[in-house]
Structure 1
Amino acid sequence: MDQLLAMRAFARVVEAGTFTHAADSLNMPNATLSKLIQQLEQHLGVKLLQRTTRRVSVTAEGAAYYGKAGRLLKDLEDIDGSFNAAQSNPRGHLRIDIGSSTASAVLIPALPDFMARYPDIRIDLGVSDRAVDLISDKVDCVIRGGVLSEQSLVARAIGHAAMVTCATPGYLKQFGVPAYPAELKNGHRIVSYLSAQNGRAMPLRFERDGEPSEIAVAHRIGVNESNAHLAAGLAGLGIIQTFAYAARAALATGQLQEILREWQPPPYPFYVVYPPNRHLSNRLRVFIDWLAESFPVQGEMARRR
């Protein structure tokens, strides 16, 4: 048995969720993959996977083995990468976590450039607004905005996003257009974004003549995912404050109308965050450098007046 190949095959089945998808990604027949897993189980003397006609599940022993084998395989990738020809052709697997609207409106449209530059890097993109633990979730880096609370991690600034306060024309016709932020407390309906860290509604932030302010308004509805938060605004459920890049298309078509332009929210900072590691893999290093160079949110930095 080629133990290293069998370990890689097992890890790929766990990550892909099915033998068929794993076999396709490894470019090997299903029968060969199944035989490798059987040989590995015989070698270890434990059952790693439970396989039915519809799905594959990992046993408790398989989960423990995957945790240890995954770290070993990643270390091997890092060793190979460190000796790659003058570091000019990084290769291997990156696991990246990013918020929903930033993924769909910013990162994914820009990724073809990165993939063209580094064709031997494989990316798994975790898309959600939930808070992740980089260590236990085996994530190489996360792209997040706002105030960073975890001091044990390394954070590199990659840009800022403009924020807009907006609502549908139908909502504004029914409830009126507020002339200043304090009016939001007088009968207006707010769709709040709920923090992934603590579940609390994020306050509405404004800035005028360099003076920042916050308005805490009891919300009619709260949403904890950024794409759904935008959808709630588009449905006319109330006023939202969101990223300019997320609302750009709706503002251009008139589905949303910007309000309180003189009290534009301050720019929202974005970071790439990763665990402290003296031996940062070359594939992660080039990805971070690419983000700092080309993260499209930087195009939203100009204050819109």
Structure 2
Amino acid sequence: MDRIDAMRAFVTVVNEGTFTRAAERLEMSPQLVSKYVSQLETHLGVRLLNRTTRKIHLTEAGTQYHQRAQQVLNDIDDMENQLDDLHTQAQGLLRISAPVSFAIRHMAPLLSEFQKMHPGVSIDLQLNDRKVDIVEEGFDIALRIGHLKSSSLIAKRLAPIRLVLCASPTYLEQHGTPGHPQDLANHQYLRYSYMDMDTGPSVQKWLQARGRRTGGEMVSNNGDVLVESAKAGAGIALQPTFIAGAAIKEGKLQMLLPEYEPEPMALYAVYAHRQLLASKVRSFIDFIDGFFGEPPYWDRFD
């Protein structure tokens, strides 16, 4: 016996007044409705209804059970309706993990526009450059930058991410402009401590050589700090254009060795499941896809 079906059959019989009308409402046979009610009484060990040929009468136990059963069924219907709304309408709390510098520079307009279109969605944006475990840490979506390895997670590519070598005009006037990756060995390097991606053989060789040197190097786990240091003339930085692009466009930084530019990485939206995706997650992924343009607006230097 399905207790919920039996409970619903009993409540419908009481509300409709007859087994026949209850069967019509439930779209089943009167015999099946009667069977459900009988099974429910057997399960509870009490008589709920006194039946006559024309009418039904609630027993004292039936009256008490009917009130509680009606409330239980209402609660179940409300719960299912709420879950259906979450699936069909974008609402609820959307927890997003995103890289620090990217989020600070580029997420606020996106989130503002998204919430205008989906006012039922609340946003919890957590900034972190480490690779979060979206399932264990309870995130709906993580934005990640890099060359993603295969995993059980779903990844949606959103935009290319260029890495460029850059330095300020003042620094280059004092130390010279490198014309070949070999020339980089004599320059000050502003190193991003999470730089573990493939940066191309020539640049990578220089980075490895710089890693063996002592003195004359700045290391930080934040790209904005390194770009600001490069603008101040502290050295050469290898940074994504979503951080350095504005300074390059303004002439405060100059790109170096463009012919040796590393292969672009990408910005991805990563989430746990493709099927039965909550509408808030699906709506956000659809919204962010193409939001930054192609090429992304931070790469438009003209």
Q: How does the TM-score come out when normalised to structure 2?
A: 0.63
* Contact 1:162–1:303 (8 Å) recurs in 2: no
Partner of 2:269: 272
Instruction: State yes or no: 1:292 paired with 2:269.
Output: no
Deviation at 1:204, TM superposition (A): 7.7
* CA displacement at 1:302 relative to structure 2: 6.8
Segments of 4+ moved more than 6 angstroms: 76-79, 301-305
Distance 1:169 1:264, change over 3 A: same
Query: Which shifted more, 130-139 or 116-125?
Result: 130-139
Q: Does 1:205 align with 2:207?
A: no
Q: Distance in 2 between matches of 1:190 and 1:203?
A: 17
Q: Confirm or deny that 1:258 pairs with 2:260.
A: no
Q: Which segments of 5 or more consecutive residues in structure 1 lack a partner in the other structure? A: 1-75, 196-200
Are the equivalent residues in 2 in contact too, given 1:110–1:296 (CA < 8 A)?
no
After superposition, where does 1:23-38 map in structure 2 within 5 Å? none
> Which residue matches 2:110?
110
Residue 172 (structure 1) aligns with? 172
Query: In the alignment, is the contact (CA less than 8 A) between 1:81 and 1:91 conserved in 2?
Result: no
**Cα distance in 2, alignment partners of residues 264 and 182 from structure 1:** 14
- Give the AA of the match of 2:110: A
Quick one: which amino acid aligns to residue 190 of structure 1? Y
For 1:145 and 1:166, how far apart are their aligned partners in 2? 20
- Give the letter for the 1:121 counterpart: V
In structure 2, relative to structure 1, the CA distance for the partners of 1:280 and 1:257 (3 Å cut) is same
SS at match of 1:215: helix
Distance 1:216 1:142, change over 3 A: farther
Cα distance in structure 2, aligned partners of 1:243 and 1:221 = 17
Corresponding position of 2:85: 83
Relative distance call for 1:230 and 1:297 in structure 2 (3 A) is: farther
Counterpart in the other structure of 1:215:
205
What is the CA-CA distance between 1:233 and the residue it aligns to?
2.1
The 3-state SS of whatever aligns with 2:93 is strand
Counterpart for residue 146 of structure 2 = 146
Q: Which residue of 1 aligns with 2:62?
A: none
Query: Aligned-pair distance for 1:263?
Result: 2.5
* Corresponding residue of 1:232: 229
Q: Distance between the aligned counterparts of 2:159 and 2:266, measured in 1?
A: 6
> What does 1:41-120 correspond to in 2, within 5 Å?
80-83=82-85, 87=88, 89-120=89-120
SS of 1:214's equivalent in the other structure is helix
CA contact (8 A) 1:193 1:202 kept: no
TM-score, normalization: structure 1? Answer: 0.63
Tell me how far 1:269 sits from its aligned partner: 1.1
Partner deviation per Cα, 1:84-128 (whole Å, 9 max, x = no partner): 6x92x4110011011122112222222222111111110011112
Cα offsets for 1:12-33 (capped at 9, x unmatched): xxxxxxxxxxxxxxxxxxxxxx
The C-alpha deviation readout for 1:142-188, integer Å capped at 9, x for no partner, is: 11111224612111111112332111122212211000122112x11
Q: Determine the C-alpha separation between the residues in 2 that align with 1:280 and 1:81.
A: 12
The answer on whether the counterparts of 1:251 and 1:258 sit within 8 Å (CA) in structure 2 is yes
Deviation at 1:244, TM superposition (A): 1.6
Partner of 1:190: 189
Counterparts of 2:81 and 2:103 in 1: how far apart (Å)?
30
Change (3 A) 1:79 1:98: farther
